[in-house]
Structure formats: C-alpha cells, structure tokens
Structure 1
Amino acid sequence: MINISQFILNFFQRESTILALSRFGVFLCFIFLSLLAGRYTPTFVRIITQKFAPQQVASIYNNLIDPLRNLFRIAGSLILISLSLVWIQDYQSIYIFLSPIVDLAVIISLAWLSSRLFQQFIRAYGIELVRKFGREVDELLLVFETLANVIIGFIAVLAFAQSQQFNLVGLLTGLGIGGLAVAFAAQKTLEQLLGTIVLYLDRPFVPGEYIRLQKSGQIPEGLFGRIESIGIRSTKIRTAAKSTLFIIPNSILANLEIENITRGKKVMVLLYLDFLDILQEREQALVQQVIVESTNSLFGIDPGSTSITFLNHKDEEKSSRTRVTFFILGSSENSLQLRKRLLELANEKISRKLMNHGIEFKLQDPTIYVESPVTI
C-alpha cells in the first residue's frame, strides 16, 4: 500500500515538473517570437497609419517613423515580452522578480520613443504650424520641447508606480504637507537647490565651456573662466588668467547675466545650385534677390553673411553653377538642428520662387556644413 502511494506521489510530482518545464519552454518560445515580431513594428505602424491617413502615409512614415525605426522595434519587442510573462504567472517567485524589470524597460522605451516622436514632429511639422499662425520660429520651440520631455518623464514615473501598486500620489501629498515645515527650516539650502535645478534645466553652460560673468554686486570685478564642475550647491569656475578656482553658489549664478564664450560659434553653410542654362544678368539679379530674401528672413542666420558667386561651367554644356555661403548661429546641438531644418524649408521656398519665374536648377547634395568655433 505504501509503495502504491509513493508511486502515485512520484507520478504527480513528475507531471508537475513536466508542466513547469513545458510552461517555461512556451515562455522562451514567446520571447523568441517577440524579438522576431518586434522587428516588424515599424511596418505594423505604417499599416495602421495607411488605414487612417492613406493620403499622408508616405510623408508621415518618412518624417516620423522611419528615423526612429530602431526605437519602434525595441518598444514593440519589450511590449510582446511583457505579454509573454502570463505563461509564468503561476510561479510567483520568478514572476515577481521579472515583472518589475520588464515593466520598467517597457515604460522607459515608450517614454524615450514618445520624446523622440515629439522631437521629430516639431522638426517636421511644428515649424510650418508656427508659421501658419503668423509667428516667427525661435528658441521657444526648444523650450516647448524640453517642457514636453519633462511631462513625458513625469507620466512615465507615475505609470511605473501605478504598475507596481505604489501610491505615489499619496506619497507626494504627504511630502507636500511635511515639506512646508522643512521649507521654513532650510530656506537657504532650498534656494541653492532650486538654483541648481534651474541651471540643469536651462543649461546656460556645461562643464568644459568658457563663460564670462558681468560685473555685479556679488562679483564686483566680473569673471572669465572655464567651468570645472556643477555641483548640487555650487559651481566651480577656473579663471583663465590666474588659474585660480572660484566657487559660486548656484542660487547666485541663476540670477546673473552669463556670457557663454564657447557657444559663440558659427556654422558656415555651402550650397551649390546647378542651373540648366547660363544665367543672364537679369536672371542672376533675380536669383540673388530670391536667395538673399529667403535666407535673411530665417531665424538664426547671421545677418548680412549671405554671399552668392556665379560660376559658369567651362565645358561644352550651356549650364552654370551658383555657390551660396552664409553662417548660421546656434548655442547648442538642438538649436543648430532646428536651424538646419529651417534651411531645408528655405531651399524649398527658393525652388518654388525660381520655378515660378521659369528658372530651373538642381541643388547639389549634400549641403556642406563647416563649424567655425570662436577663438578664446
């Protein structure tokens, strides 16, 4: 009798082991399929876009989806892997270990994808939308982009807290009530911390850049030097002449006029326009007028820097080339990218105007950008 009971017990234990192994096998298969299917996420998004906006599908895909296809693949794969966790839900120890990691990865990938999508939307369509409302395109777009990233990050934190059944709203409410008492007790420290947050968000300088501080009540003689580091309480600046180290509280820096010398750089742009016919003097004057009007009206173009040179080809073909050079100004990589996008729109505007006057040309690719950093 004992042997029969032992046999039955061993049989059920063996069956549960087989069931567990089969579930893990299915789980691993679904992970493999998730990685495989995730590679086709951009195609799936394109099909959905084509269903709801068949006329604009090519433009939307090329401007928004195609530049971010790798991010779409990562996000799609992680979402499918998250859905695959249902196969090991009965095994609590493993599920509890893997679930938060996968949830965090999914939320980070979706937040990063949303941020980049918004950035691409601003570059592709935001400029035209601003112009349709009769507004000039300026750095406000970049500020709006930063604000959107902060909102996306905040939503991502709330989403992860909610997925883990963590009452983040209640915690923030409790901290808000208790924070009032702390604010009165550590007002000076909080002022310095707020100055640090302002510097990190606005980023008027980063370590390694040269800045000049104007004369003020806190700095009577002014200051010119190189940023060594930005700490929680203060910023260290190495002076250029004496090589001494100035340590200035961030709360003071946040209220000073700062001249960033390193970012005072220009980028020279070289455009080559190949015309199908040799241009006469009247046509050259028209081309020059159209180019100057289109470039000087752009935000971020160095006024008066546009130079136009007409070069006639010496071959047997009746054609001519025009070289256009000018400088664009930018304080950061994002602002330079914005100006380059504005330049692309200006090229389209130039093309339309000249075509209306019966002048055909081909714009040589790629456009040449030459950085011209400031000499310190």
Structure 2
Amino acid sequence: MNWQDIARVLQLDFPEIPKLAVFFISLLLALLIGRYTPGIVRLIIRRFSPNQVTDLYENLIDPIRGAFKLAGTLILVSLSMAWLQPEYQSLFNFFSPFVDLGVIAGVAWLASRLFRQFVRVYGIDLLKKLGREADELLLVVETLVNVIIGFISVLAFAQSQRFNLIGLMASLGIGGLAVAFAAQKILEQLLSTVVLYLDRPFVPGEYIRLQDKQLGRVESIGLRSTKIRTAAKSTLIIVPNSTLMSMDIENVSRAKKVMVLLYMDFTKPLTDEDAALVRQVVSEGTDAVFGIDPGSTSIAFTGPPGREELNGARQRARVTFFILGSNENSIQLRKRLLELANETIAQRLSGYGIKFTVQEPTMYVESPVTM
C-alpha cells in the first residue's frame, strides 16, 4: 500500500504533481543532502566498526571532505534524473551523458584521494611492519593506482553510453600493427614524447644537465624533439625525445632541500652522559630516515626556555637537519617518515629514563640547492 492507496481509502483527492516539478525538488534535495555525505559515511562506519570510527574518520575522511561532498552530490543528482523518464525522454537523453561523466569523474577523484590518504596514513606503517623501507616506491604505486582508476573510469563511461571501447581498441590494434612496422621510427619519437609528458622529468623553464655535462634551460618540448638553450654559449640544442629517454639527465631546478628545525625540551637537566646518549640516538634516528641528508644532523644543547644563558644546564636541545626531495609529494612523504622517526626516538630515550617534549610547530625552511 502506497500513499495513493491511502488517499483513495480516505477519499482524499490530491492533484497530480508533474514529474518535472518532482525532478527539480529532488535535484534541490540532492544539492542539500550531498553536503552531508561525510557525516553519512561516518554513521555507516559507526554501524559496522564502532570502535574505530573516530580514527578512520579523522585520518581518511575528514581531510578529503570536499571529495566526499562532490561525489555524494553527483550520485544523488544522477538518481534524481529518473524522474525525467519517460515523459521527458529527450531532456533525459540530453543531460544524461553529462551527469554520467560527472558521477564517474567525481567517484574516480574520490577513489584517488582516498587511496592517497590511506597510503599517507597507513601505508608507511604497513611497510615498516613488513620490514621494508618506505621510499619513492609509495609514490610510484600511487601513480600506478591513479592510472588504473583513470582507465576504469574511461571504460565505465564508454559502457554507460553503450560505446564498445574494447572492441574498437581490438580492431584498431590489428590495423595498427601494420602501421607500426611501416613507421617505427616516427612512433618511437611520438611514444617518447608521451612518456616525457606523463613522467615529467623536466618541464619548459627548468635547468637540466645532460650527459656531456652541458647545463641548459629547457625552452620547449615538441612532438619529435626538445629544445635546450645552453647556459654557457646561449646556443640552442635540439635533442630527439627518444634520445632523452635513454639519457641520464640531472634536473638542477628541482634540486632543493628543506631545513628542519625543532626543539626538544627535557623534563630535567642532562648530564654529560645523557647528552652524549641523546646526540647518538637522535643522529641514528634521523640518518635512518630515507631522504634526509646524511650527516647533516646538528644538535646544540642550551638551558631551559627563557634561561638559555644558564651555565652548564642542558635542558633543551636544538636539532637541525636537511630533507632532500625533488617535488612536493616526496617532501610530504619524508615529513611523514620524520614523524615516525620522532616516535622511535622518544621510545628509545624513554627506555633510558630520558623524557622530553617537542615544541610545536616544527619549522620547515626551504633552501634551494645551488648550481
């Protein structure tokens, strides 16, 4: 029994609401309810995992609330499109491809951000438990997963539009095989260009050093070759992209290091033996982190905060070292590794009866590497 049957029994006569009006009402509700998608997800997590709801929500969902809101809103908008059928079929056929594209793109973006957040929060700890070193492999895995998500998204959109993308690729593959043998050199150049754009070892405007130690500025990346302006003679070097792919190239512009400055405040003054132990544990802990400049750790002991001039007192340590990285993702990964190293240092020193607190926030100062 639905509301129409109830109205018939009670002899109530309601005017029939046009489906177009129902569509606009449901569209408005979708825009309003979609904003509360993170809260709905939190309720679902609480239903199936009540003990871990706070940890999962704060680590995985809250940092990417925007992606959840967008994906939830687009899914609800897609569901509201059902009210356009069959009376407004032409309107449905017009908007359906755009809505499907938005839903698939929104869900794909959410999946990519969610996997990235999972790797940042739990991936490093998981590798540590497995006895593996957390290095650039995490960034490579993240890139591969994003490529897979993008490929699945393209297939899903093609399937939603009843477009046989797999059959088209198979038919093109047979004919393309003959073309590949006829134009092998040209295809090699084009594929090298595609790899350069995807891998992005350098971009126009950056300085690179070639195998022959020539330093130059990348002016443009073409379909067949890359133009490099030398720094010494200001001449233009044109290098085929396939040659660059097989060459060891040093990107000078992306070489940068971040100086980390933190203060350790101890609960009691340190003896000479304690100070030496702290110096050893901190040096070993930072040198063990992948991406920290080896031997750059410097530790200076002073008096307590506000009384640094106190003679002989060792109640505060100023620790400085350098993090090396080529891009923002690698720097963020090393900062996360540094947080884990701080926990390890605190545990080791606590075993010797030395307790401390780290002054917040930790200072990060970018310092470009000189040419």
TM over 0.5: yes
In structure 1, C-alpha distance between the alignment counterparts of 2:365 and 2:200, rounded to whole Å = 25
* Larger mean Cα displacement after TM superposition, 144-153 or 190-199: 190-199
Pairing partner for 1:224 from 215, 230, 250: 215
Query: Is the aligned partner of 1:134 residue 2:131?
Result: yes
Asked if the contact 1:275–1:321 (Cα under 8 Å) also holds between the matched residues in 2, the reply is yes
Shift of 1:169: 0.7
Asked if the contact 1:226–1:237 (Cα under 8 Å) also holds between the matched residues in 2, the reply is yes
Query: Is the aligned partner of 1:73 residue 2:63?
Result: no
In structure 1, C-alpha distance between the alignment counterparts of 2:233 and 2:18, rounded to whole Å = 72
Task: Tell me: CA distance 1:356–1:46, structure 2 relative to 1, closer, same or farther (3 Å).
Answer: farther
In structure 1, C-alpha distance between the alignment counterparts of 2:47 and 2:190, rounded to whole Å = 50
Which residue matches 1:11?
none
* Larger mean Cα displacement after TM superposition, 356-365 or 173-182: 356-365
Q: Tell me which amino acid in the other structure corresponds to 1:239.
A: T
> Over aligned residue pairs, what C-alpha RMSD do you find?
1.9
Query: How do 1:215-364 and structure 2 match up within 5 A?
Result: 215=212, 222-313=213-304, 315=306, 320-364=315-359
Asked if the contact 1:276–1:319 (Cα under 8 Å) also holds between the matched residues in 2, the reply is no
Shift of 1:319: 8.3
Pairing partner for 1:92 from 89, 92, 97: 89
In structure 1, C-alpha distance between the alignment counterparts of 2:283 and 2:105, rounded to whole Å = 45
In structure 2, C-alpha distance between the alignment counterparts of 1:154 and 1:233, rounded to whole Å = 26
Task: Tell me: CA distance 1:307–1:108, structure 2 relative to 1, closer, same or farther (3 Å).
Answer: same
In structure 2, C-alpha distance between the alignment counterparts of 1:242 and 1:224, rounded to whole Å = 10
In structure 2, C-alpha distance between the alignment counterparts of 1:73 and 1:330, rounded to whole Å = 33
Which residue matches 1:82?
78
Pairing partner for 2:119 from 103, 122, 125: 122
Asked if the contact 1:268–1:370 (Cα under 8 Å) also holds between the matched residues in 2, the reply is yes
In structure 2, C-alpha distance between the alignment counterparts of 1:279 and 1:319, rounded to whole Å = 5
Structure 1: state its 5+ residue gaps.
1-17, 216-221
Pairing partner for 2:207 from 206, 210, 225: 210
Which residue matches 1:35?
31
Task: Tell me: CA distance 1:375–1:88, structure 2 relative to 1, closer, same or farther (3 Å).
Answer: same
Which residue matches 2:42?
46
In structure 2, C-alpha distance between the alignment counterparts of 1:76 and 1:146, rounded to whole Å = 25
Cα offsets for 1:219-251 (capped at 9, x unmatched) = xxx531111222222222121122222222111
Cα offsets for 1:32-83 (capped at 9, x unmatched) = 2111111111111122222333333222212211110011001000100000
Runs of 4+ more than 6 Å apart: 316-319
Structure 2: state its 5+ residue gaps.
1-14
Shift of 1:88: 1.0
- The TM-score, its normalising length taken from structure 2, stands at 0.90
Q: Tell me which amino acid in the other structure corresponds to 1:122.
A: V
Query: Is the aligned partner of 1:192 residue 2:189?
Result: yes
In structure 2, C-alpha distance between the alignment counterparts of 1:272 and 1:204, rounded to whole Å = 36
Cα offsets for 1:155-199 (capped at 9, x unmatched) = 000010011111111011111111101101211111011111222
Q: Tell me which amino acid in the other structure corresponds to 1:119.
A: R
**SS in structure 1 of the partner of residue 51 of structure 2:** coil
Q: Tell me which amino acid in the other structure corresponds to 2:37.
A: T
* Larger mean Cα displacement after TM superposition, 104-113 or 355-364: 355-364
- The TM-score, its normalising length taken from structure 1, stands at 0.89
**SS in structure 1 of the partner of residue 269 of structure 2:** coil
Alignment length, in residue pairs?
352
Task: Tell me: CA distance 1:314–1:87, structure 2 relative to 1, closer, same or farther (3 Å).
Answer: closer
Q: Percent identity?
A: 64
In structure 2, C-alpha distance between the alignment counterparts of 1:255 and 1:248, rounded to whole Å = 12
Query: How do 1:104-115 and structure 2 match up within 5 A?
Result: 104-115=101-112
Q: Tell me which amino acid in the other structure corresponds to 1:65.
A: I
Q: Tell me which amino acid in the other structure corresponds to 2:341.
A: A
In structure 1, C-alpha distance between the alignment counterparts of 2:39 and 2:305, rounded to whole Å = 48
